[in-house]
């Protein structure tokens, strides 16, 4: 499922609650950090569990870059909180139960859940890359390699 958004477009802002109880907005990172927004279909499913485990176990590879990463789904906050706790997620997992942000990012599929699509958004709020070819098992390594390829600055 291809999104209508394109590289170079301004990414839609969002204000979503995460599993840590905080609300996150894309605009909070404007001029500060790149943002990796990894949409996933459903908490506690096989592929999503593999992707989350990769980000937990190898997230240090991503944190080498001036970028923040988050996973997002249309699951209820409670479902995502249980999933995040079970997987020991050390990054925000956003919930979009109204599906408004999923619609803005054009990732809502025919099953009314998000397709697995990762958006790379620059400090200027523009989309740098849209990745629809996600390997859940190597998600962290792939994100880090993409950040390198996009010339995102390393921290220290």
Q: What is the CATH number of the domain that holds 97?
A: 3.40.30.10
In a domain, 6, yes or no: no
pLDDT in tens, 37-50: 999 888 777 777 88
Confidence of residue 3 (pLDDT cuts 50, 70, 90): low
Q: Which of 70, 112, 110 is nearest to 94 (CA)?
A: 70
pLDDT at 107: 93
User: Where in the sequence is the domain holding 39, given as residue range(s)?
Assistant: 33-129
pLDDT at 1: 46
The percent helix, strand, coil of the chain (3-state, each to 5) is: 35, 25, 40
The count of structural domains within the chain is 1
pLDDT in tens, 79-137: 989 988 999 999 999 999 999 999 999 998 888 888 889 999 999 999 999 999 888 88
pLDDT in tens, 5-22: 899 999 999 999 999 999
In a domain, 123, yes or no: yes
Q: What is the mean pLDDT of residues 70-84?
A: 92
């Amino acid at each position: 499922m291809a999104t209508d958004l394109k590289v170079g477009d301004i990414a839609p802002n969002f204000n979503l609650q995460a599993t840590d109880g905080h609300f996150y907005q894309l605009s909070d990172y404007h001029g500060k950090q790149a943002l990796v927004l990894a949409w996933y279909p459903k908490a506690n499913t096989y592929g999503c569990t593999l992707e989350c485990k990769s980000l937990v176990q190898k997230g240090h590879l991503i944190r080498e870059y001036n970028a923040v990463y988050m996973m997002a789904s249309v699951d209820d906050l409670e479902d995502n909180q249980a999933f995040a706790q079970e997987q020991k997620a050390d990054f925000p997992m956003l919930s979009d139960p109204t599906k408004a942000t999923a619609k803005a990012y054009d990732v809502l599929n025919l099953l009314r859940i998000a397709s697995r699509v990762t958006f790379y958004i620059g400090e200027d709020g523009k989309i740098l890359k849209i990745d629809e070819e996600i390997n859940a098992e190597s998600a962290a390594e792939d994100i880090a390699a993409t950040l390198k390829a996009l010339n995102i600055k390393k921290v220290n």
